[in-house]
Amino acid sequence: MRTDPLVDYDEAVDRYDPVLGIEVHVELGTDTKMFDGAPNVFAADPNTAITPVSLGLPGTLPVVNGKAIEYAIKIGLALNCQIAEHCRFARKQYFYPDLTKNFQTSQYDEPIAFDGWIDVELEDGETVRVEIERAHMEEDAGKNTHLGGATGRIQGATRSLVDYNRAGVPLVEIVTRPIEGVGERAPEVAAAYVRTLRDIFRTLQVSEARMERGNVRADVNVSLRPSPESPLGTRTETKNVNSFRSIERSVRFEISRQAGILDAGGTVVQETRHFHEDTGETSSGRVKSDAEDYRYFPEPDLVPVAPSRAWVEELRAALPELPAARRRRLLGEWGYSDLEMRDVINAGALDLIESTVAAGASPQAARKWWMGELARTAKEHETELEQLAVTPAQIAELQGLVDGRKINDKIAKQVLGKVLEGKGDPAAIVEQEGLAVVSDDSVLTGAVDQAIAENPDVVEKIKGGKVQAIGALIGPIMKATRGQADAGRVREIIMERLGLS
Amino acid sequence: MSNDIIRRSAAAQAAALQAGEVSAEELTRAHLDRIEAVDGELNAFLHLNQEDALATARDVDSRRTAGEQLHPLAGVPIAVKDVVVTKGMPTTAGSKILEGWVPPYDATLVERLREAGLPILGKTNMDEFAMGSSTETSAYGPTRNPWDRERIPGGSGGGSSAAVAAYEAPLAIGTDTGGSIRQPGAVTGTVGVKPTYGSVSRYGLIAMASSLDQAGPVTRTVEDSALLHELIAGHDVRDSTSLPDPVGSYVEAARRRDVKGLRIGVIEELKGEGFAAEVRARFQESLEQLEQAGAEIVRVSCPNFRYALGAYYLIMPSEASSNLAKFDGMRFGLRVVPEGGATAEQVMAATRGAGFGAEVKRRILLGTYALSAGYYDAYYGSAQKVRTLVQRDFSAAFEKVDVLASPTAPTVAFHLGEKLDDPMAMYLNDIATIPANLAGTPGISVPSGLAEDGLPAGIQFLAPARADERLYRVGGALEALLEDAWGGPLLDKAPELAGGVN
């Protein structure tokens, strides 16, 4: 359905300066809803996590969830925001069946947090500072399911069902100021920004922050202008982009699409757009003019929220170490190079390695396992490291067996394979399957004698001073013991037997 | 059962129950019989709750027999305005759009009534969504005034005031957004109290204007209002705007009957123009009685009250337009589906078009306009500033006096249909009652005597927020003084209803 001519991305960013604006919604992991005692749960049966308040039945009133305020303040503090001394909720009014009251209780001109910033680290280590305009609290809407049509969208549907389980779930919406000056890196900046927020939400433990569940949703505004000195161009807003990769692709696409329009002398329409995973393209949603009138007014059913400064400072003091600071600390503690650290972070192995180290492995060994054998396994199975059926504690145990010379590296890989197959913990597997290194001299001596007897030419070479030829004797012994022989000890015995030690 | 018991005050009925003179079941049945006899003439009730009320009464009787400690009002029946949500009992707010809706939960104040063992007789008629001053905008026909069935019983709570005036119920619950408890009280010769905003939980009140709505007692005596107010007041965690204060000693204040040294301010702006001559005369006489009893009468000016009506008719419709958005046919109540199937938006439009009456639509339109971008500051914003000015007028006045006084309504009950086509004339009924809602201050209306056409008029007292006790003190004292002068309650002068003659 696309009609706009696309411009090659590199050409587009050569001719135009892209500007981003990102709105991120995060669902808070409170026990109950924003204004209501109904449980805040994912995937309960439709319309079961509800009360008269969630349904907006006549006569019901909202009451603010104190935990949600606490979480919103924590997010604000983590994003270096000011926290309002006094702020009100407002009603954002529009008619839609997923809104039980036909208004959303939100914050309008009095957000709980404002004027912040966050440093976003790109994959190559470059840092971009993103300014935060505001973070405000609001309630989520219910979920519509459209039936009878081919696409599952409302167009062509014959009937729709509404599930109000999500209605009233607490959200914090974080709005950036225009992100300027990032040029061709705009797509990765957008994705890295949202990833940075996702990591902060998890560290703060205010949300599970699972993108695939819609716990974190991003609306990405993109506009182009001829040069950084020009006024801002007309923007489009791509709604509900739900993965980092999709964010990157959608921004990239919008830049190419808008450049095509501008090149042809056209004007970009201010509208919301939808991103399609399959094609990597965006399509027109609804035209959004600045004149859209939500008739905001202060919510008269709620009293203002006025967090005391003492409480805010208490929350600030109790903030956990944030991801960026933690990365800096671990870099120092582990002694990795910058490049190694970035690879670890990009592979999503930071937490896993940290846990592995905490369980007793050395940082180098932990990195070797997670970035080596396990990364390969994950890639083979097209999955993420954290989805693998092995725990950091098991890796540390495995490394402990190697360090204690119970097994060698080669056997260790076999043991890991069995762990991944769900056969148990490494030490138990080694025990049960008799995989421990054979260093019993009586067994090894027999094997050595046999090898010496069968390879007189090699023995001559060794005796003649070509000690490195000893490998030709060790190889068959290792083979005969299926790799379990302690290669070091075998070598020692050969030398003893040949009278060379 | 004698017709006599139902004419007693709620306090006297409670005493009779405690003395074993009558059972709660008998008392409840007597009121149900009365309703059956006279409500055909009045249309005060939209729904009767006979079985449940009798079951409650029997339960109270057996608990009393068992020697259980009961609430003083246990077994005294009550009528509840249909804007208050009642579990298992239809609740319409006087609108077609809620016809047949049976709520799955109780309003907090209804929970309190049930816990205290008050049999709920039924739900009373009202202007649709409490929008009116005559009960004529009800989708279920008007309620008639027991004093003259060709006249209005006031509004929006005309059903509750008529039921109490006609001895159908000794107690009733009303709600007051701009005068809907006090003005019906005045024109039916009964007592009505609008408590301080936040005194009684709003959880379960179908909202018209959230910042103005307040539930309160509708009774025949000041003491009865105090008893009921003490029962329904108090903090509610489900209403963020409910006051955390402990409930005051209203009953004690109502029984005090002493106004010596009490300073009563007469609001200059609410006693002259627009008020009927005899209404004014009864007001003056009431003040004279109080003065003779030792009160000090002081003239007080509240210059910004003249803007109160205008501000009210911006704030109230603005909030109402938003509060009524939920009535869309999607989740409960009426659903109108246009022929040939329709989108959700079309169903919403058709439902609202068919389900709301003209006055409701008028206010939704007014409010939608007032909140629109570009108009917000001029209308809603300015109205909020006036609200602040009205609050300042009250603060200044209460530095000089303990309570303020004015006639409750400008006239006695007008004829059915008289003002229905003239919204402005209808709105002017609330001129004296609205300032208290804008400021969140409490007010009471008590009968001041018979005025034009031999119909009752009321006097209103206003007190500072959280000083509701003062209303009961002055109201109780005036009631006693006037009843002495009249030789009995004003309601004794009401004509007997045909069906009421045993």
- Region A186-193 average pLDDT: 97
- The answer to whether residue A388 is domain-embedded is yes
- The answer to whether residue A298 is domain-embedded is no
Those residues with Cβ within 8 angstroms of residue A51's Cβ, 6 or more apart along the chain or in another chain = A36, A37, A38
The CATH number that applies at residue A462 is 1.10.10.410
User: Are A370 and A229 members of one domain?
Assistant: no
Closest residue to A57, CB basis, from B209, B332, B380: B332
Contact of A62 with chain B, judged by CB distance below 8 Å, is answered with yes
Q: Do B101 and A58 touch (CB under 8 A)?
A: yes
Question: What is the band of A269 on the pLDDT scale with cuts at 50, 70, 90?
Answer: very high
The pLDDT score that the predictor gives to residue A288 is 63
User: Are A307 and A335 members of one domain?
Assistant: no
For residue B372, list chain A residues with Cβ-Cβ distance below 8 A: 293, 295
User: Are A425 and A448 members of one domain?
Assistant: no
User: Are A190 and A48 members of one domain?
Assistant: yes
Q: Is the pLDDT higher at B429 or at A288?
A: B429
CA–CA separation, A363 and A288 (whole Å): 52
Domain end marker among A411, A432, A453: A432
Looking at the complex, report in whole angstroms how far the Cα of residue A112 sits from the nearest Cα belonging to chain B.
Answer: 18
Angle, nearest 10°, between helix axes A323-334 and A338-346? 130
Q: Which DSSP symbol is given to B235?
A: -
The pLDDT score that the predictor gives to residue A158 is 84
The pLDDT score that the predictor gives to residue A290 is 56
Domain end marker among A281, A315, A349: A315
Minimum Cα–Cα distance from B208: chain A residue? A59
> Best of A32, A60, A146, A289 to disrupt the B interface by mutation (most B CBs within 10 Å)?
A60
- The answer to whether residue A120 is domain-embedded is yes
Mean pLDDT score of chain B, rounded to an integer? 96
Using alpha carbons, list the distances in angstroms from residue A6 to A257, A258, B236: 5, 8, 60
Question: What is the band of B499 on the pLDDT scale with cuts at 50, 70, 90?
Answer: low
Contact of A102 with chain B, judged by CB distance below 8 Å, is answered with yes
The pLDDT score that the predictor gives to residue A1 is 47
Looking at the predicted complex, does its ipTM rise above 0.85?
yes
Q: To 10 degrees, the CA torsion angle through A87, A93, A99, A101?
A: 80
**Which range of residues forms the domain containing residue A485?**
441-497
Q: Which CATH code fits B5-305+388-495?
A: 3.90.1300.10
Looking at the complex, report in whole angstroms how far the Cα of residue B193 sits from the nearest Cα belonging to chain A.
Answer: 21
Q: Do A293 and B373 touch (CB under 8 A)?
A: yes
pLDDT in tens, B66-120: 999 999 999 999 999 999 999 999 999 999 999 999 999 999 999 999 999 999 9
Contact of A159 with chain B, judged by CB distance below 8 Å, is answered with no
Closest residue to B325, CB basis, from A103, A300, A302: A103
For residue B240, list chain A residues with Cβ-Cβ distance below 8 A: 61-64, 301-303
The pLDDT score that the predictor gives to residue A153 is 74
Among A92-106, A279-293, B185-199, B424-438, the least confident range: A279-293
Minimum Cα–Cα distance from B201: chain A residue? A61
Looking at the complex, report in whole angstroms how far the Cα of residue B203 sits from the nearest Cα belonging to chain A.
Answer: 6
pLDDT in tens, A27-78: 999 999 999 999 999 878 999 999 999 999 999 999 999 999 999 999 999 9
User: Are A202 and A335 members of one domain?
Assistant: no
- Judge whether B81 counts as a catalytic residue: yes
Question: Is residue A265 over pLDDT 90?
Answer: yes
pLDDT in tens, B360-403: 999 999 999 999 988 999 999 999 999 999 999 999 999 999 99
Residue type, B410: P
- The answer to whether residue A412 is domain-embedded is yes
Closest residue to B380, CB basis, from A57, A91, A297: A297
For residues B169 and B31, the answer to whether their CB atoms sit within 8 Å is: yes
For residue A59, list chain B residues with Cβ-Cβ distance below 8 A: 84-85, 91, 103, 105, 107, 203-207
Residue A450 phi, psi dihedral angles, 5° rounding: -65, -45
Question: Is residue B256 over pLDDT 90?
Answer: yes
For residue B238, list chain A residues with Cβ-Cβ distance below 8 A: 61, 63
- The answer to whether residue A110 is domain-embedded is yes
The pTM (predicted TM-score) of the whole model is 0.88
Q: Which of B23, B95, B133, B180 is catalytic?
A: B180
pLDDT in tens, B466-478: 999 999 999 999 9
- The answer to whether residue A4 is domain-embedded is no
Looking at the complex, report in whole angstroms how far the Cα of residue B107 sits from the nearest Cα belonging to chain A.
Answer: 7
Three-state secondary structure readout of A157-209: CCEEEEECCCCCCEEEEEEECCECCCHHHHHHHHHHHHHHHHHHHHHHCCCCC
3-state helix, strand, coil in chain A (%, to 5): 40, 20, 40
Q: Do B380 and A291 touch (CB under 8 A)?
A: no
Question: Is residue A444 over pLDDT 60?
Answer: yes
Q: What is the number of alpha carbons within 13 Å of residue A292 lying toward its C-beta?
A: 12
Looking at the complex, report in whole angstroms how far the Cα of residue A391 sits from the nearest Cα belonging to chain B.
Answer: 46
For residues B210 and A301, the answer to whether their CB atoms sit within 8 Å is: yes
Coil, helix or strand at residue A463: helix
Minimum Cα–Cα distance from B371: chain A residue? A295
Minimum Cα–Cα distance from A55: chain B residue? B331
Q: Which of B134, B156, B321, B406 is catalytic?
A: B156
The pLDDT score that the predictor gives to residue A3 is 63
> Best of B330, B347, B348, B375 to disrupt the A interface by mutation (most A CBs within 10 Å)?
B330
Number of domains within chain A: 3
Question: What is the band of B3 on the pLDDT scale with cuts at 50, 70, 90?
Answer: low
Q: Whose structure tokens read 């805040």?
A: A40
Give the residue extent of every domain in chain B.
5-305+388-495
Domain end marker among A380, A410, A432: A432
User: Are A280 and A409 members of one domain?
Assistant: no
Q: Which of B9, B23, B81, B96 is catalytic?
A: B81
> Best of A47, A106, A158, A301 to disrupt the B interface by mutation (most B CBs within 10 Å)?
A301
CA–CA separation, A14 and A427 (whole Å): 58
Q: Do B328 and A91 touch (CB under 8 A)?
A: no
- Judge whether B156 counts as a catalytic residue: yes
- The answer to whether residue A297 is domain-embedded is no
Q: Do A59 and B85 touch (CB under 8 A)?
A: yes
User: Are A186 and A309 members of one domain?
Assistant: yes
- Judge whether B180 counts as a catalytic residue: yes
The pLDDT score that the predictor gives to residue B501 is 40
